[in-house]
């Protein structure tokens, strides 16, 4: 948990100046910011307005995926629409039933937009604004105020228990299971133009703050994708799938000049001491040093050129210049059409300490397991891309 919170802290500190949180909290709106690059797509920032509206403390929200709030009464069609917007890395505005910490539900206008990196065009964060909707339409045309006593601006109901829904693991949604008897939550909401404009204005203000405070770090962000030629991008869906793999590994793109790293797992960053921005876009040779055997590096290059897997033991170096023996396995990864899309490199530190432990799986089995999971994620992502284009 501590390592996850450290990654979340790093998610902001690496991208924006230290004053960005204070500036965001000066905005009056209710909103959250999530990071699709971190395993589980957690919330990395929650505004004061959101905490006040939802009744949660910041410590109860940061680092959590929205599935802990979601419940079966939330319209699954809305969930799928938001899920697809995340996969396609696009903006969405949709009405959604949400719940406070005390279990009282309310309708809101959910407006979510991606934040892109100017450096490589990848999605850095998703910003989600929540605007309460104070009236909604029933199927028979009656308004919410006509439902009965005790329902004035919003609908209240006792919270029974929280649940986790696997189908929305990637989403930063905000909902809780609630036992709401007598309510038809599948009815469509009446959203006014004022509420829509309020959400759009809030998004623009938030993006302006993020853009401004990214300038001091030199890691500029923007509201629209502005990718540079020759830089590879991974979809959010593939990032999320890869983020579930706990092994240390990197994904490199052989179709780009110098075969740069396009994905690095959290375990790899922990092993090497590098930050994600230190790694992405660079060839793996930065791990080599004065003691690295050139013949082993030549063996790796030959295997890649032959499009064959290989396993080597190579001396590598961390960011702090300390060395470690790396049991490295490299394998080509093919997409759904059978063409090589990436090469995956799985690292296991070979030390006296690690050899002294009784591992459940051998290093070879652990590496094969990681490679298999990467292949499944890449093929699944490429199949989804093909079906969305057809």
Provide the pLDDT for residue 143: 46
CATH topology of domain 236-389: Beta-Lactamase (3.30.450)
Cβ neighbours of residue 357 closer than 8 Å, sequence gap 6 or more = none
Three-state helix/strand/coil letters over the chain: CHHHHHHHHHHHHCCCCCCHHHHHHCCCCCEEEECCCCCCCCEEEECHHHHHHHCCCHHHHCCCCHHHCCCCCCCHHHHHHHHHHHHHCCCEEEEEEEECCCCCEEEEEEEEEEEEECCCCCEEEEEEEEEECCCCECCCCCEHHHCCCCCCCCCCCCCCCCCCCHHHCCCCCCCCCCCCCCCCCCCCCCCCHHHHHHHHHHHHHHHHHHHHHHCCCCCCEECCCCCCCCCCCCCHHHHHHHHCCCCEEEEECCCCCCCCEEEECHHHHHHHCCCHHHHCCCCHHHHCCCCCCHHHHHHHHHHHHCCCCEEEEEEEECCCCCEEEEEEEEEEEECCCCCEEEEEEEEEEECHHHHHCCCCCCHHHHHHHHHHHHHHHHHHHHHHHHHHHC
Class level of CATH domain 2-222: alpha beta
Between CA 221 and CA 125 the distance in angstroms is 10
The percentage of residues in the chain with a pLDDT greater than 90, rounded to a whole number, is 43
Burial of 70 (0-12, 13-18, 19+ CB in 10 A): buried
Between CA 44 and CA 220 the distance in angstroms is 18
| pTM summary value | 0.56
What would the pLDDT profile of 111-132 be if each residue is shown by its tens digit? 999 998 877 677 889 999 999 9
What would the pLDDT profile of 211-257 be if each residue is shown by its tens digit? 999 887 888 888 876 644 444 567 767 877 898 899 999 999 998 88
Task: Using alpha carbons, select from 22, 25, 65, 26 the residue that is nearest to residue 47.
Answer: 25
Confidence class for position 80, pLDDT limits 50, 70, 90: confident
Provide the pLDDT for residue 313: 96
Residue 149 has pLDDT above 70, yes or no: no
Cβ neighbours of residue 242 closer than 8 Å, sequence gap 6 or more = 234, 251, 263, 265, 374, 377
Provide the pLDDT for residue 390: 45
Residue 182 has pLDDT above 90, yes or no: no
Provide the pLDDT for residue 221: 87
Residue 177 contacts residue 70 (beta carbons within 8 Å): yes
Task: Using alpha carbons, select from 284, 55, 25, 88 the residue that is nearest to residue 174.
Answer: 55
Mean pLDDT over each residue of the chain, to the nearest integer? 79
Task: Using alpha carbons, select from 319, 96, 80 the residue that is nearest to residue 188.
Answer: 96
Residue 91 contacts residue 202 (beta carbons within 8 Å): no
Task: Using alpha carbons, select from 260, 223, 287 the residue that is nearest to residue 342.
Answer: 260
- Count of alpha carbons within 13 angstroms of residue 108, beta-carbon side: 26
Domains 2-222 and 236-389 share a fold: yes
Between CA 316 and CA 351 the distance in angstroms is 12
Provide the pLDDT for residue 354: 56
Task: Using alpha carbons, select from 284, 344, 289 the residue that is nearest to residue 316.
Answer: 289
Domain extents in the chain: 2-222, 236-389
CB burial string 283-320: b at 16+ within 10 A, e below: ebeebbeeebeeebeebbeebbeeeebbebebbbbeee
């Amino acid at each position: 948990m501590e390592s996850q919170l450290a990654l979340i802290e790093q998610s902001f500190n690496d991208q924006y100046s230290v004053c960005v949180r204070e500036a965001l909290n000066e905005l009056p709106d209710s909103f959250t910011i999530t990071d699709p690059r971190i395993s589980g797509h957690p919330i990395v920032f929650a505004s004061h307005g959101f905490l006040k509206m939802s009744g949660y403390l910041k410590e109860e929200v940061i680092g959590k995926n929205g599935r802990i709030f979601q419940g079966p009464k939330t319209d699954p069609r809305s969930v799928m629409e938001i899920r697809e917007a995340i996969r396609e890395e696009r903006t969405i505005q949709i009405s959604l039933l949400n719940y406070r910490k005390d279990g009282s539900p309310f309708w809101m206008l959910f407006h979510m937009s991606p934040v892109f990196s100017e450096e490589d065009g990848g999605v850095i964060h998703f910003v989600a604004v929540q605007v309460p909707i104070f009236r909604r339409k029933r199927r028979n045309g009656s308004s919410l105020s006509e439902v009965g006593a005790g329902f004035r601006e919003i609908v209240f109901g006792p919270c029974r228990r929280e649940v986790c829904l696997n189908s929305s693991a990637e989403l930063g949604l905000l909902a809780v299971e609630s036992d709401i008897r007598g309510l038809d939550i599948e009815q469509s909401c009446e959203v006014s133009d004022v509420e829509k404009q309020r959400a759009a204005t809030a998004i623009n203000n938030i993006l302006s703050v993020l853009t401004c405070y990214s300038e001091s770090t030199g890691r500029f962000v923007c509201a629209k994708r502005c990718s540079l030629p020759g830089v590879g991008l991974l979809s959010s869906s593939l990032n999320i799938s890869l983020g579930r793999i706990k092994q240390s590994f990197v994904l490199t793109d052989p179709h780009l000049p110098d075969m740069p790293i396009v994905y690095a797992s959290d375990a790899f960053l922990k092993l090497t001491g590098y930050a994600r921005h230190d790694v992405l876009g660079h060839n793996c040779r930065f791990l080599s040093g004065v003691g690295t055997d050139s013949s082993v590096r030549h063996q790796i290059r030959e295997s890649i050129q032959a499009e064959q897997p290989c396993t080597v033991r190579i001396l590598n170096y961390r960011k702090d210049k300390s060395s470690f023996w790396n049991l490295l396995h490299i394998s080509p990864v093919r997409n759904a059409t059978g063409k090589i899309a990436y090469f995956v490199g799985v690292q296991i530190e070979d030390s006296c300490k690690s050899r002294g432990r009784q591992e459940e799986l051998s290093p070879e089995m652990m590496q094969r397991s990681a490679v298999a999971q990467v292949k499944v994620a890449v093929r699944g992502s490429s199949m989804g891309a093909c079906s969305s284009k057809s």
